[in-house]
Amino acid sequence: MRIIETDRKHGTVEVEVEDSDDLWHLYNIIDRGDSVCGYTMREVKVSRGAEEERGGRRRVFLCISVEDMGFQTFTEKLRIKGRVTVGPDEMNIQGSFHAFAVGIRDRIRITKGEWLSFHEERLQRAASRSRPKVIAITLDDQDATLFLIRDYQMDEILTISSHIPGKYVETSDRPALKSKYFGAIAEEVSRLLQREPAAIVAAGPGFTKNDLAKVLRERLKGAKVLEENTSSTGEPGVREVMARGALSKLMEDSTMLRDSRLVDEFLSRLSKSPNMVSYGAADVERTVDRGAVESLLVSEKLLKSIPPEERRGIEALSKKVERYGGRVFFIGGEHEKGRQLANMGGIAAILRFAVSQGGS
């Protein structure tokens, strides 16, 4: 995301969308009640006596007060709906509903009554260009599943079947079927790379992944292809890769990987040393007040679902953590570990010293 202009005095930031990741960041930055302005297409109505007729669509500059949003991954559009507050006088549309369909290369201006720290973190994260992407392929000699791993989430793209008979079935077609299998995978990977650059990880049990990696290097000149051993394929295989080795090196700046490590650390302490963590609003606030919090984990999913006054309460809690020397992390809700945190109340803390249950 490119930040074009910032006016903190008036709570305004103008941005340009550079890729689909930016749309998801904007979805998390923009809240109901914010003002969003930009150029958009709007139906023009022409008066014909006592009746109005459609006069076609026209590009106009509008501002709306946001009431609802939806992120459409299949169209790579962020729909932002609300009532018009600013528009051409001759169109007489103030107060009517309008929906922006924000896509790549579009510019919008966002105005908030208050920019909280989690808004600022998302904005700076979106403006950073060090957002790695990885195409992970988990496979054996029967099936291959392709995943696109972004800064904030993991998407399963598709599964390709080899149609190769079991290894105990004698057939002369095996080499041809294997070549066709690898060719179909390489074609899909090439299509993904045309949309956006990414490193490639081939993972799975046995040697099939090594054979595929060789084919990908031959067909996709210049592509970075790594190999990783896993005991399983599909999503469990990707999670094995994420926990170690090639993917952790490629994604070391990834927010999703950072989030996963923090939530794993919290869950590990919860099971082994429960006095070294707290979760739930009341328990966390108690440990914050005692200066015990080393890392505060706040679910962005929670922040999107609560009213402004509750968000301000979490903001005040976050500032208190930082005053006591702790760190605050806003955990995305788009991946498994983020959903786990959200299901536990959306707020948790890793402590620097033990605090007994019940506050004594």
How is the chain split into domains, by residue range?
A: 2-127, 134-250, 255-351
pLDDT, tens digit (0-9, with 9 covering 90-100), for 250-260 = 666 677 788 88
Instruction: Spell out the CATH class of 2-127.
Output: mainly beta
User: What mean pLDDT do residues 175-186 have?
Assistant: 94
Distance CA 80, CA 66 (A): 7
Looking at residue 321, the DSSP 8-state letter turns out to be H
pLDDT, tens digit (0-9, with 9 covering 90-100), for 276-327 = 999 999 999 999 999 999 999 999 888 888 888 888 889 889 889 989 999 9
pLDDT confidence bin for 345, thresholds 50/70/90: very high
Top pLDDT among 4 and 90 is at: 4
CATH tag for 134-250 (out of 2.60.40.1120, 3.40.50.720, 3.30.420.60, 3.40.50.2000): 3.30.420.60
- pLDDT for res 67: 95
Instruction: Spell out the CATH class of 255-351.
Output: alpha beta
How far CA 185 is from CA of 87, 191, 225, 278, in Å, comes to: 49, 10, 13, 45
Most confident of the ranges 43-52, 152-161, 178-187, 314-323: 178-187
For the chain, what is the mean pLDDT?
87
Its pTM stands at 0.60
Q: Are 101 and 79 in contact (CB under 8 A)?
A: yes
Distance CA 360, CA 346 (A): 24
